[in-house]
Amino acid sequence: MEFHLAIVVILFATSLGEDLLENDVFASETSIEVSRPAIGHMNTTMTVSCKLLHPPAGNLTKTWTRKSDNKEITEAETGFNVSTVTGKNEVILNLEINATMNTKDDLYVCKFESDDGSIWNETARVFLFIVTPHGDAVDVGDSATLSCVITDIVKNLTVTWEDEEKRNVNDLQGYSFVEGKNVGGTQTSTLTIGKATKNATYTCTLYPYEDEPYSTPVKLEVSNSERALGLSAVLSALLLIWRSF
């Protein structure tokens, strides 16, 4: 009796499982994800994207719309590049934005629409900033201060400085560095060279995100640096001659 009851239970469970699969009870629900906000300089190209997970069968209409003027962006639109990547259980809609032509912070709405009229949409944010480098001109032996002024930012940015040999100034003696903080949309980072000896170009690098650096050169001009270097060489030669006696 128990044996026959077990068979009945197994048959019922199998039949129930087939019915649930046929009715998509266990099927993953379609959902949408949007990329993190794009933060970039006004002479760069940035990309935002939307991902539709477990898309429905059939055709999908995919669009990007700029929210500030409700303008739909097509693949032929100047200053933009729209592309689609279809993978297993996902469709990714990318929007590449040329910031030299689209120079304002904005919102971009992505939309997926299925044959039956179902709609999934999300909003991607784009923030643009400006970096203004300020070099310095000093006499040889004097201290010098360089700066990067970052405006139109929405958060504190990580900033690093490197010399011409790509060395981080934090690892070197004779330098002092201030990263700065975002105050009213502006962050100023400074590098002070204790004793300037020659003309040089330093690199100020900003990190809107850890994997998205943006670098700009900052120049130091030192007056009489060649003369000082020449005099130093002469003195070194005289010292060697003197020691040889």
CATH code of the domain covering residue 161: 2.60.40.10
Which of the four pLDDT bands, split at 50, 70 and 90, describes residue 175? very high
Q: Do residue 61 and residue 113 come from a single domain?
A: yes
In a domain, residue 53? The reply is yes
Q: Do residue 194 and residue 218 come from a single domain?
A: yes
Alpha-carbon dihedral angle through residues 97, 131, 219, 177, given to the nearest 10 degrees: -120
Nearest-angstrom CA–CA distance, 128 and 16: 55
Predicted pLDDT at 171: 87
Predicted pLDDT at 224: 81
Strand partners, 41: 129
Nearest-CA neighbor of 131 among 153, 146, 148? 148
Which sign, positive or negative, has the C-alpha torsion 23, 90, 52, 77? Answer: negative
In a domain, residue 15? The reply is no
Helix segments in the chain, DSSP class H: 2-22, 225-244
In a domain, residue 233? The reply is no
Sheet of 45-53: strands edge to edge? Answer: 31-34, 45-53, 90-98, 80-87
Nearest-CA neighbor of 34 among 139, 116, 109? 109
Predicted pLDDT at 4: 44
- Mean pLDDT of all residues in 202-218: 94
Predicted pLDDT at 242: 56
The DSSP call for residue 183 is B
Q: Cα separations (Å) of 60 from 69, 70, 91, 124?
A: 24, 21, 10, 20
Tokens 């643009």 belong to residue:
128
Domain end among 79, 101, 129: 129
Check if the beta carbon of residue 18 is closer than 8 Å to that of residue 24: no
Question: Could you tell me the residue range of the domain that residue 107 belongs to?
Answer: 28-129
Cα 237 to chain centroid, rounded = 51
Which of the four pLDDT bands, split at 50, 70 and 90, describes residue 8? very low
- Mean pLDDT of all residues in 18-39: 71
In a domain, residue 235? The reply is no
Q: Do residue 77 and residue 163 come from a single domain?
A: no
Domains: count for the chain: 2
Which of the four pLDDT bands, split at 50, 70 and 90, describes residue 244? low
